[in-house]
Structure formats: C-alpha cells, structure tokens
C-alpha cells in the first residue's frame, strides 16, 4: 500500500516541480505529499539525529483536544434548535442538524484559509505551514453558527492575510488568527453581531427562547434584544431556567465550541498532559478571573459567585485553547503567569463593568497577545540582570 502510493506520488511529482506544467501548484503538492509521507530529508548540518516530533504531530494533538468540544457543539446546535422550536428531535436528528449547520462553516474556513496559505507559500517559496489546521478548526467553534458564510470568508481572509501572512506566516504572528477572525466580525458587522439575529443574547450567551437558527429571519417568538452578560445575575439565570450544572455541561446557547466546560476540560487534560499548552497560563487565567469575580461579588457589582465566571461564556474555551497559543502567548515561564492572570482578570472586569459589551474573553486575549512581547521583554531583562549580578 505504502509503496504503491509512493510510486504514484513519485510519478506525478515532476509535473509539480520546477519546470513542470503545474509548477505553480508546487507548494500545494508539497503540502499534500508531506501530509501522506514524512519526507526523506536527512540532516545536512548540525545534529545528525532528530526527534521524530514535528509541527504536524503537535498540531494534530491540539485538534484532538478540540474534538470533544466540537462533538458537544454539534449536538448542542441541534439540541438548542430542537428545544427552541419545540421540535422534539431524536439524538440522530440532533446530530444531523448540527452537522448540517457546522459543515459549511468548516468548508469556508478551510477553503479560504488554506487557499491563502497555499498561495502565499507558493509566492514566498516556502513550504506550507500547518498552523492554519488548528486555527481553521477553532474558527467555526467560536463564531455564531448562523453567521452568513460570506462574512466568515471575509473575516478569515482578513485574519490570515493581515493577522498572519504579512508578519511572515505561522510562528511570526502577534495575535491569534482565530480570535482576529472573530474580532473582525464583531467590529465589522456590529449590527448583526450584537443584535439578536446572529448573536442573540450577547456575544457568547444567548437565550434559548430567543434563538433563531435561520439566518435573516426574524426572532422566533417572544424574545427580542440582547441580554448583556453584565446583567446576568442569579435571578436572571434562574428566570431562564439555567443552572450552574447546565453551564458546566454546556446545554445552553453560545458559540458552538464554547458552551461545554466538561468537553473543554477533556481538551485541557490532553493539552497539559502532552505539554503542548501551558498549564501555567490556564491556572493563572483562572486565578485572575476568580479574583476579579470575587472582588466584583463583594463590591456588589454582581451577585454571582466568582466561580460562575469560569463556566459562563467563552472563558473556559479561551483560556484552554486560545490564550495558550504558543506563538502569541508569553514565552517566558514567569511571563506566562503574568500573561494568564492579565487575561483572566481583564475578561471578568469587562464582564462586570462594561454594560455595553457582555463578553470580555475575546478582547482580553487579544490584549494579552499585544502585551505578551512587552511582558517577555521585562521578564527577560530582569532575569538576565539577576543572573549577571549573581554571577
């Protein structure tokens, strides 16, 4: 099987190499070839032996960690739809509906994103980097499921070109490309985004009764207007019939991947166990959120116990999958504590004190990304000074 496939690849390879008819697709061919086969490159200089781990391996692990959140999200789309319209779907109908809604988002996300990646790799003469495999998997999980596909396409193109490629591609970007996609949507289409058509109930949370899964149509019944997270209170949640357990398990409204804390925790375990994401960032982000949530509680800004902040909205997803992005997070060990804490604290601060904008996680992480190089700079300088003094 392996040899047969190899001989086919070898046969068509010259067509895509320099001088071949399809040389303009060289980077695309190369991406698929290295997807199938680990290349035969041998070490020319430096270390003659190398660890067998590569970026493909590490990033596929990240995708595996996202799969529980994805699966739950697919179920939840169908479930929320069924509940909102009183359809009484069976399990497979729920899953089927969920897939039907999510697959177009994935197609657009990957076609646009990878298309740009392949093209820019070809122009620059680089190999295609695998970074977008993860970004492209995350994007549909953090946008509202009824987002028009053309808006998604534009947002993805913006994020990949201006968020990543102009900095030099994967590994060089300052901001997390998936979050940039989301930020672009939020700032470019605010009327749809913060209104009740797409973002019913604020960015991350919407009221199930008010959900409309059909793009462009009116709100189903009774409910209109967003409910900011800022007004979320024990009473408010109780009035909607949402318990803390619901928030933890995730059978509530919200962006596809973010609702289930359980599924996200499974992902967190995978990421921490494999060492791919930093537990320091996750822990300090949780600490930051708890601290500000607690201060808000005793200060009277909210009556929610501080730990509600961890299970509501996009906090858990952002902390586990987005704040820990190794490229855009702080790189120094001490910097990670500061960076994570900053994100957690800022997210809850926005939630509590900004009535116009109910969810703080997106901007908190983007702010954290912006500050990360500065944090690292200070940590590195302080550390080097410390060592040179003690030497």
Interacting residue ranges for other proteins, rule: CB under 8 A: 1-2, 5-6, 34, 36-43, 45-58, 60-61, 127, 129-131, 168-172, 273-276, 278, 326-327, 331-333, 336, 380, 383-384, 387-388, 391
Question: Measured in Å, how far apart are the chain's first and last C-alpha atoms?
Answer: 59
Nearer to other proteins, 278 or 319 (CB): 278
Torsion of CA 37, 42, 43, 49, to 10 degrees: 70
Of the pair 83, 119, the CB lying nearest other proteins is at: 119
- Of the pair 341, 357, the CB lying nearest other proteins is at 341
Cα three-residue angle 229-235-241, rounded to 5 degrees: 85
- Phi/psi region, residue 129 (left: phi>0; alpha: psi -120 to 50; beta: rest), is beta
In angstroms, give the least distance from the CB of 46 to other proteins.
4
Q: In the Cβ-directed half-sphere of 94, how many Cα atoms lie within 13 Å?
A: 22
C-alpha to C-alpha distance for 321 and 177, rounded to whole angstroms: 12
Identity of the residue, 43 or 245, whose beta carbon is nearer to other proteins in the bound complex: 43
> What's the CA gap between 356 and 185, in Å, rounded?
17
Residue among 47 and 191 whose Cβ is closer to other proteins: 47
Q: In terms of Cα–Cα distance, which of 102, 133, 106 is closest to 117?
A: 133
CB of 388 to other proteins, least distance (A): 7
Least separation in angstroms between CB 14 and other proteins: 16
Q: How far is the CB of 63 from other proteins (least distance, A)?
A: 11
Nearest distance from C-beta of residue 193 to other proteins, angstroms: 31
List C-alpha distances in Å: 276 to 2, 12, 321: 30, 36, 10
Residue 159 or 242: which CB sits closer to other proteins?
159
Round to whole Å and give the CA distance between 189 and 150. Answer: 12
How many residues are given for the chain? Answer: 391
What is the smallest separation between the CB atom of 238 and other proteins, expressed in angstroms? 43
Nearer of residues 237 and 372 to other proteins, judged by Cβ:
372
How far is residue 293's CA from residue 267's CA, in Å, rounded to a whole number?
24
Minimum CB–partner distance for residue 105 and other proteins (Å): 24
Q: Report, in Å, the least distance between residue 35 CB and other proteins.
A: 9
Q: Let me know: does 204 contact 258? Beta carbons within 8 Å.
A: yes
Cβ distance to other proteins smaller for residue 33 or 209: 33
**CA angle (88 as vertex; 232, 238 as ends), nearest 5:** 20
């Amino acid at each position: 099987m392996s040899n047969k496939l190899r001989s086919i690849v070898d046969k068509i390879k010259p067509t895509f190499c320099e001088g071949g008819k399809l040389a303009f697709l060289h980077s695309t061919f190369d991406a698929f070839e290295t997807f199938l086969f680990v290349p035969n490159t041998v070490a020319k200089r430096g270390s003659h032996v190398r660890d067998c781990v590569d970026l493909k391996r590490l990033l596929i692990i990240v995708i595996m960690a996202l799969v529980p959140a994805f699966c739950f999200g697919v179920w939840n789309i169908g479930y929320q739809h069924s509940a909102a319209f009183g359809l009484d779907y069976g399990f497979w109908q729920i899953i089927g509906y969920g897939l039907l809604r999510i697959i177009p988002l994935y197609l657009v996300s990957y076609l646009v994103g990878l298309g740009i990646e392949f093209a820019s790799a070809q122009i620059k003469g680089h190999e295609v980097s695998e970074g977008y495999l993860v970004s492209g998997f995350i994007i549909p999980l953090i946008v509202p499921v009824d987002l028009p596909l053309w808006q998604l396409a534009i947002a993805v193109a913006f994020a990949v070109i201006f968020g990543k490629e102009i900095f030099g591609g994967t590994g060089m970007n300052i901001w997390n490309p998936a979050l940039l996609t989301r930020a672009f949507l939020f700032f470019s289409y605010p009327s749809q985004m913060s209104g009740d058509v797409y973002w019913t109930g604020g960015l991350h949370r919407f009221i199930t009764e008010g959900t409309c899964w059909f793009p462009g149509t009116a709100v189903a019944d009774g409910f209109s207007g967003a409910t900011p997270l800022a007004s979320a209170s024990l009473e408010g949640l109780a009035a909607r019939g949402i318990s803390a357990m619901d928030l933890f398990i995730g059978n509530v409204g919200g962006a596809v991947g973010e609702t289930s804390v359980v599924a996200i925790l499974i992902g967190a375990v995978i990421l921490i166990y494999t060492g791919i994401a930093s537990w320091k960032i996750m822990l300090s982000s949780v600490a930051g959120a708890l601290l500000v949530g607690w201060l808000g509680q005793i200060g009277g800004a909210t009556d929610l116990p501080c730990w509600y902040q961890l299970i509501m909205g996009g906090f858990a997803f952002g902390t586990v999958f987005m704040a820990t992005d190794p490229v855009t997070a702080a790189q120094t060990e001490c910097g990670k504590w500061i960076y994570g804490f900053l994100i957690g604290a800022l997210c809850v601060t926005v939630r509590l004190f900004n009535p116009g904008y109910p969810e703080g996680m997106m901007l908190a992480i983007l702010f954290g990304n912006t500050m990360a190089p500065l944090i690292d700079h200070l940590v590195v300088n302080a550390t080097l000074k410390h060592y040179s003094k003690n030497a």
